[in-house]
Amino acid sequence: MAVVVVESPAKAKTINKYLGSDYTVLASFGHVRDLPAKDGSVDTDNEFGMTWEVAADSKKHVRAIAEALKTDDTLILATDPDREGEAISWHLQEALASSLKKGKTVRRVTFNAITKSAVTEAMSKPRDVDMELVEAYLARRALDYLVGFNLSPVLWRKLPGAKSAGRVQSVCLRLIVEREMEIEAFRAREYWSVKAILETPRGQSFEARLTVLGGKKLDRFDIATEEAASLAVEAIRSRDLTVKSVEAKPASRNPYPPFMTSTLQQEASRKFGMGAKACMAAAQRLYEAGHITYMRTDGIDMAPEAVTAAREAIRARFGASYVPDSPRIYKNKAKNAQEAHECIRPTEMSAAPDDLRLTESDQKRLYDLIWKRTIASQMAAARLERTTVDVGSRDGEVELRATGQVVMFDGFLKVYDEGRDDEGEDEGRLPQIMQGEAAKKQGITPEQHFTQPPARYTEATLVKRMEELGIGRPSTYASIVTTIQDRDYVRKDKNRLIPEDKGRLVTAFLANFFKRYVEYDFTSALEAELDDISAGERDYKEVLARFWRDFSAAIAETSELRITEVLEKLDDFLAPHLYPARADGSDPRICPVCGTGKLNLKTARSGGAFIGCANYPECRYTRPISTAGGEEGMALTGDGKLLGNDPAGLPITLRTGRFGPYVQRGEASEEQPKPPRSSLPKGWSPESIDLERALMLLDLPREIGLHPEDKEKVEAGIGRFGPYVKHGSTYANLPEVDEVFTIGMNRAIEVLAQKASRGAGRGAAAKPLKELGEHPDGGAIQVMPGRYGPYVKWGKVNATLPKEIEPEAITVDQAVELVNAKASKGGKKPAKKATAKAAPKAAAKPAAKTAAKKPAAKKAPAKKTAKPKAGEADASDLGE
């Protein structure tokens, strides 16, 4: 027998089905060793020797593998087929060294898909651990440790409130901050266009836009004012128009290549608003279940047998006309061969999304996307006809153009079309138009436009930009984007990434004092060197030595920096954002309260920074950095900005305080020393607050009505942990702040029911929607409300209710069939004869014992999350 080790128990379970009883399949649960979070884990004085330790949680998994090797002579390392997978295999081999003596064999196998054929073939072609891939991993891990462990403390000391700085995350953050600065520096430019609705002699209408005026072809900004647009309208109105030319051209659109990691993340973000982390988590589960090929790849090529299977599936489903004469071959554009595996595709082309009956929403949507993209990639091109019609006056002074597009054969579009980051107008179909015939004017409309600033990054466009710049790799994209959000450097609002003040300060600090290490070219070149190591073309210790020589010198230069010196530099760097030009032309740095003090950047005791007056304490004017870009920072003085009066005549003001901007009703007095106040929710800028919005905040909590069951009040508000609905002593979070002001009773009851179902076993249990009776094997069957919809419950078995069956209509027989199927699929044995009450008690005992066994002392380290350990500052760069 042989011991096979994979990363996860889900993967182990799937592989075990294929290998049978001749193998013992165990999970390592990811990496088993890492660098200790302390100084010296990477010894820069002794050829970058690394000290590794087995993680506390991993010791039991390593022991289990060692125990299995006592009776088995062969260890087969079957971790993922990339740099990280190779590293895990190497770590396992090193950690198990004492168990691998006396002639025991260690072999490495990889497979791109967890299918019986792929696993069987891999087992027949074992090899040794690839040390070139391991050395590329070692170089990356050492770099991340050296940056995180040495740069993060500098940030903590010189920039109060800042968190860790990672090697690649810092560059990614710079992209987002610079895009925001571009938006703030943007000045809109006005321009006009003119459109006309024209009619053919047959009474059919079409739209055309003005392209020639005064005999000159128009550029975008040629009609710059309303007056110029009015003259253009008059020029069209005063002339007869005829069709000068009609040109119809055939065109075609080829399908998109199949997915690789970055394009899958981009498309999941566009189509579903799914973040990179959620996308990769769902893809991981699909891979481990054997439904798709490996999901971390730069490759877009497809195995020949998969191409053949795709063509057969297309022919069977859509007909021979949708199959091109020859297979489509996509050229791989990967920079690094080590991650240039096959594309992400279904393992079985004939397995359409409906055939798999996936119950988890993210997996179902993602598999549907992957299947459609893969099938479409081998389909025939779409055939189109593009028509251009030019209509003009006889004197040539005025000309208009109409364009249209007709799909003659949909081809791959029958299955799939890629989403767009910036949606444009699709060209419509034109009526029959003949050259030389008159075009009657039905209406002429001038339209005002303003140039738009560059769009903020979404996760999709950010990943795309990182890929273009060569920053990061497939295994790191998700963790990079997630980490900068987790550190509160960036927030996501309506799927757009917006830098927080903390993120701006960190970027400004690094750009001033560590400029080289946040340069795009430098980071990209370093990634290329890591790829060269994996290809055996560079020595990883030489790469580390060259990097450390310059980086350590840069660290040493900052040791003498004073915080005031740092703040002065940041103040100058961020000046365009902090002190925008004033409409009256006055100095934007002059305090709007005292009129003499100069505004500058200051740090708060609690961390972070704010704008304050240099005349402190005589002048106590302050404002947060985040309000810097609007209306002179909203000029929030001690008395605030008056928004208006409430119905009772009390003044409503917008102010700023120690914890940021807030609204207040009335003024402090002896009778009321603390007037009603409400902080602005996250995502609400001071510039957006008017009297109506301020009153909405001050009137919270808002009563929704009385609960239909107990007639107790249900209300919505904003609390310490965000927006919520409340019924009695039960609080349930709402996903969006704006919903607090619009939520009705039906939605509130739904949110409260979901909270109750999630809290079952921790508090008040959710009430069943329907009691169905007894299961033939004993125990009650109930229909319960759930977070993702109603489900059938029998003891420990929960089975999702199909959408086509209403909770009120389900029968006992249908419910028994559902729970039995779920029990057999999940490997759960049906409970023995027991009452409905017995099952929860039995389930509760082990949990209680486990909790009792955990010493209180062990809980303390887990809670220290305010300051990440320096050595762990960039561990998430690994993408694991």
The burial of 219, by beta-carbon neighbours within 10 Å (0-12 exposed, 13-18 middle, 19 or more buried), is given as exposed
Q: What is the pLDDT of residues 122-153, one digit of tens each?
A: 999 999 999 999 999 999 999 999 998 888 88
**Whose structure tokens read 């996936």?**
358
Spatial strand order of the sheet with 722-727 comes to 702-706, 713-719, 722-727, 730-733
The encoded tokens of residue 380 equal: 């025939």
Mean pLDDT for the chain overall: 84
Integer CA distances (angstroms), 800 to 358, 764, 843, in order: 11, 22, 20
Residue 827 pLDDT > 70: no
Q: Read out DSSP for 24-83?
A: EEEE--S--EE--SSTTSEETTTTTEE--EE-GGGHHHHHHHHHHTTT--EEEE---SSH
Dist CA 283 CA 297 (whole Å): 12
Give pLDDT, residue 628: 46
Q: Which residue has the higher pLDDT, 880 or 515?
A: 515
Residue 573 pLDDT > 90: no
The encoded tokens of residue 731 equal: 């609080």
Q: What is the pLDDT of residues 382-411, one digit of tens each?
A: 999 999 999 999 999 999 999 998 899 999
Query: pTM to 2 decimals?
Result: 0.68
Our answer to whether residue 294 is catalytic in this structure is: yes
Dist CA 820 CA 832 (whole Å): 13
Q: Three-state SS for 548?
A: helix
In angstroms, the first-to-last Cα distance of the chain is 30
Among 119-128, 265-274, 524-533, 573-582, the minimum mean pLDDT is found in: 573-582
**Whose structure tokens read 């820069």?**
44
Q: Which of 137, 145, 294, 367 is flagged as catalytic?
A: 294
Q: Read out DSSP for 749-782?
A: HHHHHHHHHHTBTTBSPPPPSEEEEE-TTSSEEE
List all residues 6 or more positions away from 683 whose beta carbon is below 8 Å from its beta carbon. Answer: 491, 493, 737
Give pLDDT, residue 473: 78
Q: What is the pLDDT of residues 317-362, one digit of tens each?
A: 999 999 999 999 998 765 554 455 789 999 999 999 988 888 889 9
Beta strands in 353-502 (DSSP E): 382-392, 398-409, 438-450, 490-493, 496-499
Query: 873: pLDDT confidence band, cut at 50, 70 and 90?
Result: very low
Integer CA distances (angstroms), 605 to 160, 161, 608, 610, in order: 8, 9, 8, 11
Residue 516 pLDDT > 80: yes
Among 627-631, 647-651, 677-681, 849-853, the minimum mean pLDDT is found in: 849-853
**Whose structure tokens read 């900005």?**
641
Give pLDDT, residue 338: 47
Give pLDDT, residue 658: 62
Among 188-202, 205-219, 460-474, the minimum mean pLDDT is found in: 460-474
Partners of 439 in the beta sheet? 241
Let me know: does 348 contact 405? Beta carbons within 8 Å: no
For residues 220-236, average pLDDT: 95
CB count in 10 Å sphere of residue 750: 14
- Pick from 108-117, 641-650, 781-790 the range whose average pLDDT is largest: 108-117
For residues 33-49, average pLDDT: 91
Let me know: does 169 contact 877? Beta carbons within 8 Å: yes
The burial of 860, by beta-carbon neighbours within 10 Å (0-12 exposed, 13-18 middle, 19 or more buried), is given as exposed
Dist CA 201 CA 204 (whole Å): 8
- Residue 777, CB-side half-sphere exposure with 13 Å CA sphere: 11
Dist CA 697 CA 702 (whole Å): 9
Q: What is the pLDDT of residues 5-34, one digit of tens each?
A: 999 888 898 898 899 888 999 999 989 999
Let me know: does 444 contact 241? Beta carbons within 8 Å: no
For residues 224-230, average pLDDT: 95
Q: Read out DSSP for 710-744?
A: T--EEEEEEETTEEEEEETTEEEE-S-GGGGGT--
Crossing angle of the two packed helices 116-123 and 9-19, in degrees rounded to 10? 80
Beta strands in 115-182 (DSSP E): none
For residues 785-795, average pLDDT: 79
For residues 221-235, average pLDDT: 96
Give pLDDT, residue 421: 60
Q: Which residue has the higher pLDDT, 804 or 185?
A: 185
Partners of 403 in the beta sheet? 388
Q: Work out the percent of the chain whose per-residue pLDDT is above 70.
A: 87
Dist CA 231 CA 389 (whole Å): 24
Q: Which residue has the higher pLDDT, 210 or 823?
A: 210
Which helix H or strand E contains 859, and what residues bound it?
helix 859-862
Partners of 175 in the beta sheet? none
Q: What is the pLDDT of residues 527-554, one digit of tens each?
A: 889 889 988 899 999 999 999 999 999 8
Residue 619 pLDDT > 70: yes
Q: What is the pLDDT of residues 101-130, one digit of tens each?
A: 777 899 999 999 999 999 999 999 999 999
Q: Which residue has the higher pLDDT, 274 or 582?
A: 274
Residue 80 is which amino acid? D
DSSP state of 346: B
Dist CA 723 CA 683 (whole Å): 12
